[in-house]
Structure 1
Amino acid sequence: MPRTQKERNEQTRRALLDAGSSLLREVGYARTSVAQITQRANRAHGTFYLHFESKRDLVSVLLDDMADEARENIREIWSTAPTVDAIWLGVRAFLARITPNRSLWLLLEEVVALEEDAAPLRSRLRQQYVAPILRGIQNRSDELPPPVPNLELLADLVTSMSLYFARTGNLPASPEETALHITVVWCKAVGQPITEKDLDRLRAMFPTE
């Protein structure tokens, strides 16, 4: 059946995103032009501005898509798994999804370095990760002891650790062990009981060589 205009527009937008993503990762922000993106996407130059305001806007969409995927995956985990397991599985999934996209984080740093007014892009993206983590902390059981006074600060700390590890690739241990350390910090801060039995159970889920 013939495609609708909406479907054609979405296909063009997706082609531009894919072309932009590959070019930006290959040669960087400064050396990528809109003309190169449209040429690789096999689209007319003017179509770019029907979908994006600028090259930076395309980068912002790529980063938003990455954040959306990570949040959706964590949301599914937290809706089904036991509390301690869910924290660990969520953090591990978070690291697993954004670590392979390290090039996008490096791209963001290049954009901020080249364009002074791009700094809010980093802050907005960071908040996209802080918000769901904060909701996860706030949704703890009512039977738990009172949490730390500033839950947003805790969410920001957890996000900072995770993003630093993902962006730099400098995990202090395996992704599973790193996620376990963050889980312990999280549980202790909010008063979530975590026992040696819990830790043993989680370590039993680590992949074997």
Structure 2
Amino acid sequence: MRRTQKERNEQSRQALLEAGSSLLREVGYARTSVVQITRRANRAHGTFYLHFANKRQLVSVLLEDMAEEGRQRAREIWRITPGVEGLWMTLREFFALITPERSLWLLLEEVIALEEDAAPLRSRLRHLYVEPVLRGLQANPDGRVPQAASLELLADILVSAGLYFARTGTLPASPDLTALHLTVVWRNAIGQPLTEADLAHLRGMFATG
């Protein structure tokens, strides 16, 4: 069957993303050119600009795609498993997803170092991770949620810590255990400390996983 123009465009876009991702990880942002990306993708040079304004936007799309995968996982977790267990599972998935992608976060830092006007990109991408955590916590069945502004600040701090661990390669423990530590911190911060039964249940989940 013949492919539609929309399908051909999407195939070209994916080819450019894959070529850009591999090149950028190999040689870095400064040493990667649009010409190199299109050559590796086996696409005409002008095709790049049908999909991306510049190579910075390609980097942004790569990071946003990773964030969207995390958001989809978080939505599914919170739909099935609310409460303490849902929070821990969301954080665990967050660490499991972003930790292997350290090169992408280092790439973002290189972009920001080279292009001053790129700094807001970090904040915007961080918010993509904050939003699903915040939404799940706002659905707390106890109804003892603090003011929205405080809750959002705490979610931002939680995610910022996670992104720092991913970027620096200093995850203090396994994703399971790091998520447990941050779940404890979070629940203490909102005045709902975990019970011994909560801790035993969560430890049991990853000790046998």
| Fold similarity call, TM over 0.5 | yes
8 Å contact kept, 1:34–1:48: yes
Q: What is the CA deviation profile of residues 53-86 of structure 1, one whole-angstrom value per residue up to 9, with x for unaligned ones?
A: 0011111111110110111111111110141111
1:140 CA drift (Å):
1.1
Cα 1:73/1:140, change in 2 over 3 Å: same
Partner of residue 88, structure 1? 88
1:145 CA drift (Å):
3.5
8 Å contact kept, 1:146–1:191: no
Q: What RMSD, in angstroms, separates the aligned Cα atoms of the two structures?
A: 1.7
Partner of residue 182, structure 1? 182
Give the whole-Å Cα distance in 1 for the aligned partners of 2:183 and 2:82. Answer: 13
Partner of residue 110, structure 2? 110
Gaps of 5+ in 2: none
Give the whole-Å Cα distance in 2 for the aligned partners of 1:146 and 1:6. Answer: 45
TM-score with structure 2 setting the length: 0.94
Give the whole-Å Cα distance in 2 for the aligned partners of 1:41 and 1:171. Answer: 34
Partner of residue 18, structure 1? 18
Gaps of 5+ in 1: none
Match runs of 1:50-61 below 5 Å: 50-61=50-61
Give the whole-Å Cα distance in 1 for the aligned partners of 2:116 and 2:71. Answer: 28
Tell me how many residue pairs correspond in the alignment: 208
SS of the equivalent of 1:171 reads coil
Partner of residue 133, structure 2? 133
Worse-superposed segment, 165-174 or 102-111: 165-174
Identity of aligned residues (%): 69
Worse-superposed segment, 26-35 or 144-153: 144-153
TM-score with structure 1 setting the length: 0.94
8 Å contact kept, 2:64–2:125: yes
Partner of residue 168, structure 1? 168
